[in-house]
Amino acid sequence: MRSTRASDTWTKPQSPTVANSVPTLDRLVGLETEYAIRFRPAEGLADPPTRYQLYQALVARLKRHVPTAPARHFKEGLFLANGGAVWFEGERPAAGSGLIEGSTPECRGPLEAVRYQRAMDQLLSQCARMAEVDGLVSLVKNDRDGRGHVYGAQENYEAVLGSAWSLWVWRVGLVLLAPLLLLAWAGVALMIVTCLLYLAVAGLIYLPLRWLARPSHRVAVALFGRDLAEGRETGMPTPVWMETLSLGLTRLIYAPLAMCLWALIALTAFRRTRRQLVPFLVSRCLVAGAGLLDDQGRFHLADKAPAVNCLLGLGGFWRDRPVFTCGHFFKSLCVDAWFAPGDLRHLWRARQRLQIGLGDSNMCETAEFLRVGTTALVLDVIEAGELPPLALLARPIDALHGFCADQSLTQRARLVDGREVTALELQRFYWSACQQYVARHPDVPEEAHEVIDAWDEVLGALEQYQLSGEVPTQLVGAVDWVTKRQLLDEAGGDASWEARKKIDICYHELSPLGYFQMLQAAGLAAVLNQPQELERATRTPPANTPATMRGHYIREFSSESEPLSVSWHRVVMGRGWGSKSVRLVRYERAAAAQTRRRRLGSRDAGQR
């Protein structure tokens, strides 16, 4: 009955027009999660460690747990034996900022992605608690801290970049950007030389003063940064003022290239996919939102969504927080090329990484499974040309904010054709399209049916909630915003904002003190992965992905005397001219052949 009502609202599906590029739910998927660092210093500790030093302590413990290899990347990190990676994410380290980022290996299927995400959560939280520092370290898996700083989760899906003409324009456009890239590199090189000259001149002036006037430690830090002033690695290599000036100049130097690249992406990359995916993502907070208590005490269904301000952006270059992030293209072109120019060939591929910045860090496994599974399934339907025509949202960002701020689920958003719809109606439309797609393709994996059934169950409970106004208790422990709201309601209406905000933040803490961890330990949260599966996922990479070979080399050669370094695209053994490089694209070709054989086998079995 629900699917009938949904189909009455929208146009019936059209016949397929485009062949599906990969089998259903078989595209590469990867998750990136940023964890806030919570440090409780030991009593009497006068000089607490910086966030970078806490990261180093965590990494030291991590190396004792699993084989690792240093990352060949512009930011500090290391790859793990399961093919994933851990990074120190800090745009302003001199100012004391910094997060720990965990990246899952490339996975196939939503359940596998959730398994490796949960394995990463478990591994990093254990290592944080065991870090050798004067105090207790824990990680918080959320999307903003108590001061409103936004970070969190991003999703990566292998997808078709565009049609033949848009792919051709994309490749030509990349070539035409080369002069701007060279000019930007020259500008950055000049800036680095200027900074080195400053440090040399400042050093010549400071040394006599050190013997005559004995300037304070604070003056030395202001002139040179904490690393040079203290003669040790603290993660603060430059003065705060120099860091601020350098970031501003870097943005100014790269601005022409960034604007042209953004325009090229907007014109060519994933155009049809982005257009048809927007209404789904805008309404996905019903299923996958983590909940947020804002500064005014209002509850939102999603944690990151209220801060999103555009559809397509570079992910922070212009203080933008987009639905679709194209910053990885910018980094590949401007930064990664310094380390491995040959890896630029990946930008020429027909299938590229579609990165979604609109998504919360989920604590509930069911919500995380649906966040990935429904998105991957909708992408399958879009690439197969089987998504029914739908009118687009007139103001999608306003619709996103309106949906997230409405606990009654009755907020309506205007479509370009003048109609108004709720987030539930949008989700039902996409559910109906995916359900009919699965019904028309008998060779889809069982996991696709599991996504459809779980999606339907959650939407059904939310539809009952929309009518009755009673919190759907069957979704407690399955959907984060419902679970968090239940905890806030139990605190009582007379609880202070500080007490309620503590619940909001502590819900996401990855430690025995975390509120969701307590619910899970009490058996009140659905569990999709068994402990032995998570333990295996911390050490073994997914099969039939580039991570398979990456993890193999790390396990086999990370302890050898010959140095080993790793990136997402290659493994390098040795240094200098004598090094040996293994490109992971070779394994991807073998994986594609195996996928084709599996597809043919399924087709033959169906015919028999």
DSSP code at position 107: E
Give residue 350's identity as a one-letter amino acid code: A
Answer whether residue 593 shows pLDDT above 60: no
Average pLDDT over residues 393-420: 96
Cα distance between residue 544 and residue 592, in whole Å: 9
Flag the least confident range among 208-222, 412-426, 466-480: 208-222
Residue 171, classed as helix, strand or coil, is: helix
Cα distance between residue 510 and residue 142, in whole Å: 10
Q: Are 83 and 119 contacting, i.e. CB atoms less than 8 angstroms apart?
A: no
pTM above threshold 0.75: yes
The pLDDT assigned to 587 comes to 56
* Of 348, 313, 360, nearest in space to 31 by CA: 360
Answer whether residue 45 shows pLDDT above 50: yes
Task: Measure the CA dihedral 536/540/543/544, to 10°.
Answer: 160
Flag the least confident range among 140-144, 228-232, 444-448: 228-232
pLDDT single digits (tens) 219-249:
888 888 888 877 787 778 888 888 889 989 9
Cα distance between residue 552 and residue 545, in whole Å: 12
Listed in sequence order, the residues at least 6 apart from 34 whose beta carbon sits closer than 8 Å to its beta carbon are 89, 99, 100, 101, 151, 152, 153, 361
Answer whether residue 419 shows pLDDT above 50: yes
Cα distance between residue 283 and residue 147, in whole Å: 26
Cα distance between residue 6 and residue 292, in whole Å: 29
Cβ-based neighbour number of residue 385 at 10 Å: 14
Flag the least confident range among 12-21, 112-121, 305-314, 498-507: 12-21
The pLDDT assigned to 237 comes to 82
Cα distance between residue 288 and residue 301, in whole Å: 9
Domains and CATH numbers, the chain: 2-162+269-534 (3.30.590), 176-256 (no CATH)
According to DSSP H, which parts of 507-584 are helical? 515-521, 531-537, 546-557
The pLDDT assigned to 588 comes to 54
Residue 136, classed as helix, strand or coil, is: strand
Average pLDDT over residues 21-36: 90
DSSP string, 270-328: THHHHHHHHHHHHHTHHHH---EE-TTS-EES-SSGGG--EEEE-SSTTS--EEEE-HH
Flag the least confident range among 339-348, 387-396, 410-419, 421-430: 339-348
Token reading at 193: 């030389």
Average pLDDT over residues 545-568: 87
Cα distance between residue 310 and residue 304, in whole Å: 13
From residue 389, alpha-carbon distances to 262, 265, 508 in Å are 27, 24, 39
pLDDT single digits (tens) 490-539:
998 789 999 999 999 999 999 999 999 999 999 999 999 999 999 999 99
Q: Are 424 and 406 contacting, i.e. CB atoms less than 8 angstroms apart?
A: no
The pLDDT assigned to 5 comes to 37
Cβ-based neighbour number of residue 133 at 10 Å: 18
> pLDDT grade, residue 160 (50/70/90)?
very high
Cα distance between residue 100 and residue 131, in whole Å: 14
Q: State the first-to-last Cα distance of the chain, in angstroms, to the nearest integer.
A: 34
What percentage of the chain has pLDDT greater than the value 90? 66
Task: Compute the radius of gyration of the chain from its Cα atoms.
Answer: 25
What are the backbone dihedrals phi and psi of residue 104, each rounded to the nearest 5 degrees, phi first? -70, 160
Cα distance between residue 282 and residue 403, in whole Å: 8
Q: Are 7 and 128 contacting, i.e. CB atoms less than 8 angstroms apart?
A: no
Token reading at 508: 């996401």
Cα distance between residue 603 and residue 19, in whole Å: 15
> pLDDT grade, residue 594 (50/70/90)?
low
According to DSSP H, which parts of 340-491 are helical? 365-383, 396-405, 423-440, 446-468, 480-491
Cα distance between residue 120 and residue 141, in whole Å: 11
> pLDDT grade, residue 139 (50/70/90)?
very high
> pLDDT grade, residue 570 (50/70/90)?
confident
3-state secondary structure 403-433: HHHCCCCCCEEEECCCCEEEHHHHHHHHHHH
Work out the angle between the directed axes of helices 271-283 and 365-383 (0-180°, nearest 10): 150
pLDDT single digits (tens) 243-286:
889 989 999 999 999 999 999 999 999 999 999 999 999 999 99
Answer whether residue 600 shows pLDDT above 50: no
Angle at 102 between CA 242 and CA 291, to 5 degrees: 95
